[in-house]
Amino acid sequence: MDGITLNLFALQLFTGLALGSVFVLLAVGLSLIFGLLTVVNFAHGAFYMVGAYVGVFVLGLTGNFWFTLAAVPVVVGSMGVVVERYLVRPLYGRGIDYPLLLTFGLGMALVEVVRIVYGLEGVPFDTPKELRGAVDLGFGFFPLYRLFLIGITTVLVMVLWLFIEKTSYGLVIRAGARDPEIVRVLGIDISKVWLIVFAIGTGVAGLAGVLSAPMRSVIPDMGSTVLVEAFVVTVVGGMGSLVGAVVAGLLVGVVVSMTSLFWPSLTDLSMFALMAAVLLVRPQGLFGKKGLMG
Amino acid sequence: MSEIPMNTGEMQVSGRRLSDLVKLVARHRVIAVLAFMSVFPFIMPYEALAVNILIYGLFALGFNMVFGYMGVLSFGHAAFFGMGSYGTGIAIVHFGAPWPVAIGLGVVVAGITAMIMGAMAIRSRGIYFAMVTLALAQCVYYLIYQMSDWSGGEDGLTGVTIGEIDLGVVSFNLLDPTAKYYFMFTFVALAVFIFSRILASPFGAVLEAIRENENRARACGYNVQLTKWITFVISGLFCGLAGALNAIHLSVVPIESLHYHLSGQAVMMALLGGMGTFFGPFVGAMAFLLLEDVITLITIHWQLFLGITFMIFVLFFPKGIWGSILHWVSR
């Protein structure tokens, strides 16, 4: 393969990491929500899409990309609060399938609401001025925006990790994931913890949406493929595992982008092949605990 | 119910008669379905809708075996429906196969897909299963999408026509909607009969045992994994038949028949009608398609209405339409 040099390979690796960053953000939220609430959030893709549209709205209003970036997770997270409190909470204890089904219906409704407001056509979302252009990484020029995406994901994952591992509230969250009953017995309002975790998860999904808006077109259906991709990542990484979400997200991103370099026609299939391989060897996922899913 | 003394009130008498009727229907489920289905096209606004309800009812019925009876939520049943469609479609378009062969092939292809998907997905338990089946079904979607020489890619597979059917004794043309309905009806009737026999068999009892308590079923000595896999495959065969019939009904195989939105439709139909009930899927398919037919006349945003309706059912009527009727009757 003369055409594929080491430099091209390295560039493609970075492209994969940027792609993987979006997967990481989605899967972290999905995994967090599952780990604590045992809810598979089928509306996760819809929240991602809503995040992009809220971004379009706020950016149109203020013209400030950085403010938009801060506002979107807050808005989408607040939506998550309402959804958890009034739609998901009544279903706890009614069997594990019901929250899943509910969020599936919710996702459909959200997509249609956005269609009513913004129509079927895509909405353009320009890359902010400060982040246009490319930087020299030593082996070639790489789009600055994608580098920024990798950076912000790294920071966000670090912050989340510190929050969960090093703060006293994080301790409650970790305890809640192990045994909500005991946490409740200790006098902690676990439903409030669940509410917050659901808000964080959906907020991060919304952020992922607005972050990927300049790279993908903003259309009402954008969440539907992403949902499947996020599922693949969580299955590969192991449900409920944050480390798994990060590693698998980057891994899937790199695998997809490498496949598009070497075997372009198999790009769409590559992540499923990876998932199938992981399922055969480790059905619980790379970092999943055995029996969690019982 | 019979020990309750009959009151003279008109309401109670009619209520009692109604509940007796429901019980009678529930007892003779196959006959009831067939009797209803045989007059069905005459009460529908147009025959194509009746055919749709027949096909999607069968699809939801097959799906309900896994979801309602075994208690495992699959989000990948579009793969079986779609592969049934493509199997039949490709046999007719590319090989010029006669229709019985084509339909049989569609069912077999769907069954093989279910075998492979099932073998992988069954390794994951509980809620994981829904995600894994969904992802595997999307994998099938992309695979068929890529094979555009065979499948037509994004445009779908066109030209799945069989026209005249000559059975020796009778011959009829599928362009006649009534003839088409009864042609489909024959297959669905057969499937409903087989489905009922499976449920009534000891195997069917094991399914419900797994739903009620998987660990206890295992402790009783049943091979739960194998039973799950077999059920998944049988369910895939029913859905494949539905897909095969749909290919003939539409004369094309749209790529959407593999998309996970269709799996979601099966879930919704089963839940709307009543999961784990025999009539539920047909009632659900009827409610779903009739509502869609009416509401798309008024607004193009049918999905919003559907999403909200579905959420209301999940929150307040998890038993579904038929399930709620049964519950009300047996009170």
Which of A:60-99 have CB within 8 Å of B? 87, 90-91, 94, 96-98
Q: pLDDT tier at B5 (50, 70, 90 boundaries)?
A: very low
Spatial distance between the Cα atoms of A48 and A38, rounded to a whole number of angstroms: 20
Q: Among partner residues B73, B123, B303, which is closest to A100 by beta-carbon distance? A: B73
User: Chain B within 8 Å of A104 (Cβ-Cβ)?
Assistant: yes
Residue type, A286: L
Average pLDDT over residues B225-242: 96
In a 10 Å sphere around its CB, with 0-12 CB exposed, 13-18 middle and 19+ buried, how is residue A112 labelled?
Answer: buried
Handedness of CA A15, A18, A22, A28 (dihedral sign): positive
User: What is the value of pTM for the model shown?
Assistant: 0.89
Q: Is A38 on the interface with B (CB under 8 A)?
A: yes
pLDDT-wise least confident of A287-291, B8-12, B71-75, B81-85: B8-12
Residues B236-262, mean pLDDT to the nearest whole number: 94
Residue B323 included in any domain: no
The total number of structural domains in chain B stands at: 1
Contact A106 B131 (CB under 8 A): no
Residue B161 lies in a domain: yes
* Phi and psi, residue A128, nearest 5°: -60, 150
The H or E element that residue B79 is part of is helix B78-95
Is B179 domain-assigned? yes
Residue of chain B nearest A277, judged by CA positions: B120
Looking at this predicted complex, what is its ipTM?
0.88
A115 at B interface, C-beta within 8 A: yes
Helix (H), strand (E) at residue B158: strand B157-158
Domain boundaries, position B214? 25-260
The answer to whether the Cβ–Cβ distance between A104 and B267 falls below 8 Å is yes
pLDDT in tens, chain A (294 residues): 455 688 888 889 999 999 999 999 999 999 999 888 888 999 999 999 999 999 999 999 998 999 999 999 999 999 999 999 999 999 988 878 899 999 999 999 999 999 999 988 888 888 888 888 888 887 888 899 999 999 999 999 999 999 988 999 989 988 888 888 898 999 999 899 999 999 999 999 999 999 999 988 899 999 998 999 999 999 899 888 888 999 999 999 999 999 998 988 888 889 998 988 888 888 888 888 754 443
> CA-CA distance, A167 to B269, in Å (whole number)?
46
Inter-chain touch B131–A101, beta carbons under 8 Å: no
Residue B1 within any structural domain of the chain: no
Q: Are strands B252-253 and B157-158 parallel, antiparallel or unpaired?
A: antiparallel
Option in A90, A97, A228 nearest B134 (CB)? A228
Could you tell me if A198 lies within 8 Å of chain B, comparing CB atoms? no
Average pLDDT over residues B218-245: 95
In angstroms, how far is CA A37 from the centroid of its own chain?
Answer: 17
DSSP3 helix / strand / coil % (chain B, rounded to 5): 75, 5, 20
Residues of A in contact with B121 (CB under 8 A): 279
The pair phi, psi for residue A143, each rounded to 5°, is -55, 130
- Rounded Cα distance, B239 and B259, in Å: 14
Neighbour count for residue A217 (Cβ, 10 Å): 14
Residue B285, both tokens: 């398919």
Q: Hey, what are A3's tokens?
A: 């055409």
* Chain B: residue whose CA lies nearest to A226: B135
Residue of B74, B75, B315 to mutate when probing chain A, most A C-beta within 10 A: B315
**Residue B115 domain flag:** yes
Three-state secondary-structure class, residue A136: strand
Interface membership of B130 toward A (CB under 8 Å): yes
Do residues B284 and B273 make contact, with C-beta atoms less than 8 angstroms apart?
yes
Closest-CA residue of B relative to A267 is B142
Q: Do A91 and B308 touch (CB under 8 A)?
A: no
Question: Helix, strand, coil shares of chain A as percentages rounded to 5?
Answer: 75, 5, 20
Q: Is the pLDDT of residue B113 over 90?
A: yes
Report yes or no on B207 lying in a domain. yes
Strand A134-136 and strand B164-166: pairing? unpaired
Instruction: Say whether B125 and A293 touch across the interface (CB within 8 A).
Output: yes
Best of A101, A110, A236, A293 to substitute, by most chain B Cβ atoms within 10 angstroms, is A101
**Does B288 map to a domain?**
no
With respect to residue B232, please indicate whether it lies within any of the assigned structural domains.
yes
Beta-carbon separation of A90 and B315 below 8 A? yes
Domains annotated on chain A, with CATH: 15-281 (1.10.3470)
**Cβ separation B142–A272 shorter than 8 A:** yes
